Amino acid sequence: MLRDRYGRSIEYLRLSVTDRCDLRCSYCIPKGFKGFEEPQHWLTFDEIERVVAAFARLGTRRLRLTGGEPLLRRNLAELAGRLSSLPGIDDLSLSTNATRLAHHAGELRAAGVSRINVSLDSLDRACMHQITGRDSLGMILDGIMAGKAAGFDPIKINMVALRGVNEHQIDAMVAFCIEHQFVLRLIEAMPMGASGRDTSWLDLGPVERHLRRHFGLIHQPAKLGGGPARYLATPDGRTSVGFITPMSQHFCADCNRVRLSVDGTLYLCLGQEDKVDMRPLLRGGASGAELEQAIRAAIELKPEKHEFREQPGKIIRFMSQTGG
Protein backbone atom coordinates (compact mmCIF):
# COMPACT_ATOMS: atom_id res chain seq x y z
CA MET A 1 0.00 0.00 0.00
CA LEU A 2 1.23 3.48 -0.84
CA ARG A 3 1.65 5.70 2.21
CA ASP A 4 2.69 9.31 2.24
CA ARG A 5 4.97 10.92 4.80
CA TYR A 6 1.96 11.78 6.97
CA GLY A 7 0.86 8.14 7.22
CA ARG A 8 -2.09 8.43 4.85
CA SER A 9 -2.89 5.45 2.63
CA ILE A 10 -3.14 6.50 -1.02
CA GLU A 11 -5.49 4.03 -2.65
CA TYR A 12 -7.55 6.23 -4.96
CA LEU A 13 -6.53 7.58 -8.38
CA ARG A 14 -8.64 10.11 -10.26
CA LEU A 15 -7.75 9.87 -13.94
CA SER A 16 -8.58 12.74 -16.30
CA VAL A 17 -9.03 11.57 -19.90
CA THR A 18 -9.61 15.09 -21.30
CA ASP A 19 -9.49 18.67 -20.09
CA ARG A 20 -12.23 19.68 -22.54
CA CYS A 21 -15.88 20.08 -21.71
CA ASP A 22 -19.09 20.86 -23.57
CA LEU A 23 -20.28 23.09 -20.70
CA ARG A 24 -18.74 26.21 -19.19
CA CYS A 25 -19.69 26.04 -15.53
CA SER A 26 -19.02 29.39 -13.90
CA TYR A 27 -16.82 27.94 -11.14
CA CYS A 28 -14.75 25.68 -13.42
CA ILE A 29 -13.72 27.06 -16.83
CA PRO A 30 -13.42 30.79 -17.61
CA LYS A 31 -15.66 32.10 -20.36
CA GLY A 32 -13.89 32.22 -23.70
CA PHE A 33 -11.02 29.97 -22.58
CA LYS A 34 -9.37 28.15 -25.48
CA GLY A 35 -6.03 27.02 -24.03
CA PHE A 36 -6.82 23.31 -23.80
CA GLU A 37 -4.10 20.68 -23.94
CA GLU A 38 -3.08 19.63 -27.45
CA PRO A 39 -4.22 16.09 -28.33
CA GLN A 40 -0.66 14.96 -29.06
CA HIS A 41 0.10 15.59 -25.40
CA TRP A 42 -2.77 13.45 -24.15
CA LEU A 43 -1.77 10.11 -22.71
CA THR A 44 -2.72 7.33 -25.09
CA PHE A 45 -4.86 4.42 -23.94
CA ASP A 46 -1.74 2.22 -23.81
CA GLU A 47 0.08 4.80 -21.67
CA ILE A 48 -2.92 5.17 -19.38
CA GLU A 49 -3.16 1.42 -18.95
CA ARG A 50 0.55 1.18 -18.08
CA VAL A 51 0.48 3.87 -15.42
CA VAL A 52 -2.80 2.64 -13.89
CA ALA A 53 -1.39 -0.90 -13.76
CA ALA A 54 1.63 0.45 -11.89
CA PHE A 55 -0.64 2.20 -9.38
CA ALA A 56 -2.64 -1.02 -8.98
CA ARG A 57 0.49 -3.02 -8.24
CA LEU A 58 1.25 -0.52 -5.48
CA GLY A 59 -2.16 -0.99 -3.86
CA THR A 60 -4.45 1.48 -5.60
CA ARG A 61 -7.90 -0.11 -5.66
CA ARG A 62 -10.21 2.76 -6.62
CA LEU A 63 -10.12 4.43 -10.01
CA ARG A 64 -12.35 7.25 -11.25
CA LEU A 65 -12.51 8.51 -14.83
CA THR A 66 -12.84 12.29 -14.91
CA GLY A 67 -12.30 15.34 -17.11
CA GLY A 68 -13.26 17.98 -18.20
CA GLU A 69 -16.09 15.88 -19.51
CA PRO A 70 -14.75 12.33 -19.96
CA LEU A 71 -17.44 11.35 -22.47
CA LEU A 72 -15.81 13.73 -24.97
CA ARG A 73 -12.90 11.27 -25.20
CA ARG A 74 -13.55 8.90 -28.08
CA ASN A 75 -13.90 5.18 -27.33
CA LEU A 76 -14.06 5.75 -23.58
CA ALA A 77 -15.88 2.44 -23.06
CA GLU A 78 -12.91 0.64 -24.63
CA LEU A 79 -10.56 2.27 -22.14
CA ALA A 80 -12.93 1.51 -19.27
CA GLY A 81 -12.96 -2.16 -20.24
CA ARG A 82 -9.17 -2.31 -20.30
CA LEU A 83 -8.83 -0.62 -16.93
CA SER A 84 -11.56 -2.60 -15.18
CA SER A 85 -9.74 -5.79 -16.21
CA LEU A 86 -6.46 -4.81 -14.54
CA PRO A 87 -5.54 -6.94 -11.50
CA GLY A 88 -6.12 -4.99 -8.33
CA ILE A 89 -8.67 -2.48 -9.63
CA ASP A 90 -11.76 -3.26 -7.57
CA ASP A 91 -13.82 -0.13 -8.17
CA LEU A 92 -14.13 1.79 -11.46
CA SER A 93 -16.38 4.85 -11.47
CA LEU A 94 -17.08 7.87 -13.66
CA SER A 95 -17.67 11.57 -13.07
CA THR A 96 -19.73 13.19 -15.82
CA ASN A 97 -22.00 16.11 -16.59
CA ALA A 98 -24.31 13.50 -18.21
CA THR A 99 -25.05 15.54 -21.35
CA ARG A 100 -23.88 12.57 -23.43
CA LEU A 101 -24.60 9.78 -20.97
CA ALA A 102 -27.88 8.73 -22.61
CA HIS A 103 -25.86 7.54 -25.62
CA HIS A 104 -23.11 5.76 -23.66
CA ALA A 105 -24.60 4.47 -20.39
CA GLY A 106 -25.14 0.88 -21.55
CA GLU A 107 -21.69 0.38 -23.06
CA LEU A 108 -19.96 1.93 -20.07
CA ARG A 109 -21.85 -0.29 -17.64
CA ALA A 110 -20.95 -3.34 -19.75
CA ALA A 111 -17.30 -2.25 -19.76
CA GLY A 112 -17.10 -2.39 -15.97
CA VAL A 113 -18.02 1.11 -14.75
CA SER A 114 -20.14 0.44 -11.68
CA ARG A 115 -20.90 3.89 -10.28
CA ILE A 116 -21.38 7.41 -11.62
CA ASN A 117 -21.26 10.89 -10.17
CA VAL A 118 -23.24 13.48 -12.11
CA SER A 119 -22.76 17.23 -11.84
CA LEU A 120 -26.17 18.88 -11.46
CA ASP A 121 -26.31 22.23 -9.72
CA SER A 122 -30.01 23.03 -10.11
CA LEU A 123 -33.33 21.64 -11.28
CA ASP A 124 -34.29 25.06 -12.62
CA ARG A 125 -33.68 25.39 -16.36
CA ALA A 126 -32.76 29.07 -16.30
CA CYS A 127 -30.43 28.62 -13.35
CA MET A 128 -28.64 25.74 -15.06
CA HIS A 129 -28.28 27.85 -18.19
CA GLN A 130 -26.74 30.60 -16.07
CA ILE A 131 -24.27 28.22 -14.38
CA THR A 132 -23.31 25.99 -17.33
CA GLY A 133 -23.50 28.50 -20.17
CA ARG A 134 -26.04 26.56 -22.23
CA ASP A 135 -29.52 25.03 -22.07
CA SER A 136 -28.30 21.79 -20.50
CA LEU A 137 -30.87 20.60 -17.95
CA GLY A 138 -32.93 18.36 -20.26
CA MET A 139 -29.88 16.52 -21.60
CA ILE A 140 -28.51 16.01 -18.12
CA LEU A 141 -31.77 14.61 -16.73
CA ASP A 142 -32.07 12.27 -19.73
CA GLY A 143 -28.54 11.07 -19.07
CA ILE A 144 -29.18 10.48 -15.38
CA MET A 145 -32.26 8.40 -16.09
CA ALA A 146 -30.38 6.42 -18.76
CA GLY A 147 -27.73 5.72 -16.16
CA LYS A 148 -30.36 4.51 -13.73
CA ALA A 149 -31.83 2.23 -16.40
CA ALA A 150 -28.36 0.86 -17.20
CA GLY A 151 -27.92 -0.25 -13.60
CA PHE A 152 -25.35 2.16 -12.17
CA ASP A 153 -25.55 1.98 -8.40
CA PRO A 154 -25.25 4.25 -6.63
CA ILE A 155 -25.83 7.35 -8.71
CA LYS A 156 -24.46 10.36 -6.90
CA ILE A 157 -25.58 13.87 -7.76
CA ASN A 158 -22.92 16.51 -7.16
CA MET A 159 -24.35 19.97 -6.48
CA VAL A 160 -21.89 22.84 -6.02
CA ALA A 161 -23.57 25.21 -3.59
CA LEU A 162 -23.20 28.79 -4.83
CA ARG A 163 -24.17 31.66 -2.56
CA GLY A 164 -26.74 33.88 -4.22
CA VAL A 165 -27.13 31.56 -7.21
CA ASN A 166 -28.62 28.18 -6.31
CA GLU A 167 -28.67 28.01 -2.52
CA HIS A 168 -32.46 28.47 -2.46
CA GLN A 169 -32.84 25.34 -4.64
CA ILE A 170 -31.10 22.88 -2.32
CA ASP A 171 -34.37 21.67 -0.76
CA ALA A 172 -35.78 20.86 -4.19
CA MET A 173 -32.64 18.89 -5.06
CA VAL A 174 -32.86 16.89 -1.82
CA ALA A 175 -36.50 16.06 -2.55
CA PHE A 176 -35.60 15.01 -6.11
CA CYS A 177 -32.86 12.68 -4.89
CA ILE A 178 -35.11 11.20 -2.21
CA GLU A 179 -37.77 10.52 -4.86
CA HIS A 180 -35.33 8.71 -7.17
CA GLN A 181 -33.07 7.22 -4.47
CA PHE A 182 -30.00 9.07 -5.67
CA VAL A 183 -27.22 10.09 -3.29
CA LEU A 184 -26.88 13.87 -3.15
CA ARG A 185 -23.53 15.47 -2.38
CA LEU A 186 -23.41 19.18 -1.64
CA ILE A 187 -20.01 20.75 -2.35
CA GLU A 188 -18.41 24.02 -1.31
CA ALA A 189 -16.85 25.78 -4.31
CA MET A 190 -13.05 26.05 -4.23
CA PRO A 191 -10.90 28.98 -5.46
CA MET A 192 -9.36 27.06 -8.37
CA GLY A 193 -8.18 29.54 -11.01
CA ALA A 194 -9.82 32.86 -11.83
CA SER A 195 -13.26 31.33 -12.34
CA GLY A 196 -13.17 29.59 -8.96
CA ARG A 197 -11.99 32.70 -7.15
CA ASP A 198 -14.86 34.68 -8.66
CA THR A 199 -17.36 32.21 -7.18
CA SER A 200 -19.07 32.93 -3.88
CA TRP A 201 -18.85 29.69 -1.92
CA LEU A 202 -21.57 28.76 0.54
CA ASP A 203 -20.78 27.49 4.05
CA LEU A 204 -22.57 24.15 4.29
CA GLY A 205 -22.71 24.06 8.09
CA PRO A 206 -26.01 25.99 8.35
CA VAL A 207 -27.34 24.07 5.32
CA GLU A 208 -26.68 20.76 7.06
CA ARG A 209 -28.51 21.90 10.19
CA HIS A 210 -31.49 23.07 8.12
CA LEU A 211 -31.72 19.77 6.21
CA ARG A 212 -31.59 17.78 9.43
CA ARG A 213 -34.67 19.64 10.66
CA HIS A 214 -36.58 19.94 7.38
CA PHE A 215 -36.13 16.38 6.10
CA GLY A 216 -35.54 14.57 9.39
CA LEU A 217 -32.08 13.47 8.26
CA ILE A 218 -29.97 11.50 10.72
CA HIS A 219 -26.26 10.82 11.08
CA GLN A 220 -24.92 8.05 8.84
CA PRO A 221 -21.66 6.60 10.20
CA ALA A 222 -20.87 4.43 7.19
CA LYS A 223 -18.83 5.95 4.35
CA LEU A 224 -20.09 5.76 0.79
CA GLY A 225 -17.19 5.18 -1.58
CA GLY A 226 -13.69 6.54 -1.12
CA GLY A 227 -14.46 10.24 -1.04
CA PRO A 228 -14.39 12.86 1.72
CA ALA A 229 -18.12 13.45 2.15
CA ARG A 230 -19.80 13.30 5.56
CA TYR A 231 -23.27 11.80 5.21
CA LEU A 232 -26.72 12.13 6.65
CA ALA A 233 -29.44 9.63 5.79
CA THR A 234 -33.21 9.64 5.51
CA PRO A 235 -34.93 7.86 8.40
CA ASP A 236 -35.70 4.85 6.17
CA GLY A 237 -32.04 4.65 5.11
CA ARG A 238 -32.86 4.65 1.39
CA THR A 239 -31.21 7.96 0.51
CA SER A 240 -28.17 9.86 1.76
CA VAL A 241 -27.06 13.48 1.61
CA GLY A 242 -23.34 14.18 1.77
CA PHE A 243 -21.40 17.35 2.56
CA ILE A 244 -18.00 18.07 1.02
CA THR A 245 -16.52 21.04 2.87
CA PRO A 246 -13.02 21.96 1.64
CA MET A 247 -13.54 25.58 2.72
CA SER A 248 -15.35 25.48 6.06
CA GLN A 249 -14.08 22.13 7.39
CA HIS A 250 -11.27 20.60 5.37
CA PHE A 251 -10.63 16.86 5.32
CA CYS A 252 -6.93 16.82 4.45
CA ALA A 253 -5.98 14.52 7.34
CA ASP A 254 -7.90 11.71 5.63
CA CYS A 255 -6.91 12.45 2.02
CA ASN A 256 -6.44 9.17 0.14
CA ARG A 257 -6.11 10.33 -3.48
CA VAL A 258 -3.98 11.78 -6.20
CA ARG A 259 -4.96 13.02 -9.67
CA LEU A 260 -3.44 12.22 -13.06
CA SER A 261 -4.22 14.83 -15.71
CA VAL A 262 -4.77 14.13 -19.39
CA ASP A 263 -1.17 15.13 -20.22
CA GLY A 264 0.32 12.79 -17.62
CA THR A 265 0.89 15.30 -14.82
CA LEU A 266 0.42 13.70 -11.43
CA TYR A 267 -1.09 16.31 -9.10
CA LEU A 268 -0.68 15.46 -5.44
CA CYS A 269 -3.12 18.05 -4.01
CA LEU A 270 -5.86 20.21 -5.48
CA GLY A 271 -4.75 23.19 -3.42
CA GLN A 272 -0.98 22.98 -3.89
CA GLU A 273 1.42 23.01 -6.85
CA ASP A 274 3.23 19.76 -6.00
CA LYS A 275 3.27 17.62 -9.14
CA VAL A 276 5.29 15.08 -11.14
CA ASP A 277 5.32 14.70 -14.92
CA MET A 278 4.82 11.02 -15.79
CA ARG A 279 4.63 11.45 -19.58
CA PRO A 280 8.42 11.57 -20.20
CA LEU A 281 8.79 8.26 -18.38
CA LEU A 282 5.94 6.66 -20.30
CA ARG A 283 7.27 7.88 -23.66
CA GLY A 284 10.91 7.23 -22.77
CA GLY A 285 10.63 3.48 -22.39
CA ALA A 286 10.49 3.30 -18.59
CA SER A 287 9.96 -0.17 -17.21
CA GLY A 288 7.09 -1.09 -14.91
CA ALA A 289 9.48 -1.06 -11.97
CA GLU A 290 10.68 2.43 -12.91
CA LEU A 291 7.10 3.68 -13.08
CA GLU A 292 6.43 2.25 -9.63
CA GLN A 293 9.56 3.93 -8.28
CA ALA A 294 8.48 7.26 -9.75
CA ILE A 295 5.03 6.92 -8.20
CA ARG A 296 6.50 6.13 -4.78
CA ALA A 297 8.80 9.14 -5.01
CA ALA A 298 5.88 11.34 -6.05
CA ILE A 299 3.75 10.27 -3.10
CA GLU A 300 6.55 11.44 -0.81
CA LEU A 301 5.91 14.96 -2.14
CA LYS A 302 2.22 14.97 -1.23
CA PRO A 303 1.65 18.00 1.02
CA GLU A 304 -0.09 17.90 4.36
CA LYS A 305 -3.00 20.16 3.42
CA HIS A 306 -4.35 22.75 1.04
CA GLU A 307 -4.49 26.47 1.83
CA PHE A 308 -7.68 27.56 0.10
CA ARG A 309 -8.70 29.81 3.00
CA GLU A 310 -5.22 31.11 3.78
CA GLN A 311 -4.10 31.70 0.18
CA PRO A 312 -7.19 31.76 -2.07
CA GLY A 313 -5.21 33.15 -5.02
CA LYS A 314 -2.48 30.54 -4.92
CA ILE A 315 -3.80 28.06 -7.52
CA ILE A 316 -4.00 29.62 -10.98
CA ARG A 317 -4.91 26.42 -12.84
CA PHE A 318 -8.64 25.76 -12.99
CA MET A 319 -10.40 22.54 -12.11
CA SER A 320 -10.68 20.90 -15.51
CA GLN A 321 -6.92 21.28 -16.03
CA THR A 322 -6.27 19.26 -12.90
CA GLY A 323 -9.01 16.68 -13.34
CA GLY A 324 -12.19 16.66 -11.27
- 57 appears as a binding residue in the annotation: no
Beta bridge partners of 118: 96, 157
Amino acid in the structure at residue 42: W
- 252 appears as a binding residue in the annotation: yes
- 177 appears as a binding residue in the annotation: no
Closest to 242 (Cα-Cα) out of 271, 191, 204: 204
Q: Based on C-alpha coordinates, what's the Rg of the chain?
A: 19
Phi/psi for 142 (5° steps) reads -60, -40
- 190 appears as a binding residue in the annotation: yes
- Own/partner long-range contacts of 227-236 (Cβ < 8 Å, ≥24 apart): 227/185, 228/254, 228/255, 229/185, 232/208, 234/178
- 12 appears as a binding residue in the annotation: no
Angle between helices 137-150 and 125-132 (to 10 degrees): 100
- 164 appears as a binding residue in the annotation: no
- 255 appears as a binding residue in the annotation: yes
Amino acid in the structure at residue 28: C
Local structure of residue 162 (DSSP, 8 states): B
- 238 appears as a binding residue in the annotation: no
- 6 appears as a binding residue in the annotation: no
Decide: 268 and 274 in contact? Cβ < 8 Å.
yes
Closest to 322 (Cα-Cα) out of 311, 310, 309, 306: 306
- 173 appears as a binding residue in the annotation: no
- 283 appears as a binding residue in the annotation: no
Local structure of residue 29 (DSSP, 8 states): S
- 113 appears as a binding residue in the annotation: no
Residues 6+ apart with CB under 8 A from 185: 117, 156, 157, 158, 159, 227, 229, 241, 242, 243, 244
Residue 229 buriedness (CB in 10 A; 0-12 / 13-18 / 19+): buried
- 259 appears as a binding residue in the annotation: yes
Decide: 211 and 237 in contact? Cβ < 8 Å.
no
- 32 appears as a binding residue in the annotation: no
Q: Report the alpha-carbon distance of residue 158 to residue 4 in Å, rounded.
A: 28
The binding site comprises 14, 21, 25, 27-28, 64, 68, 95, 119, 156, 190, 252, 255, 257-259, 269
Binding site members for [4Fe-4S] cluster: 21, 25, 28, 252, 255, 269
- Residues within the annotated binding site for GTP? 14, 64, 95, 156, 257-259
Annotated binding site for S-adenosyl-L-methionine, which residues? 27, 68, 119, 190
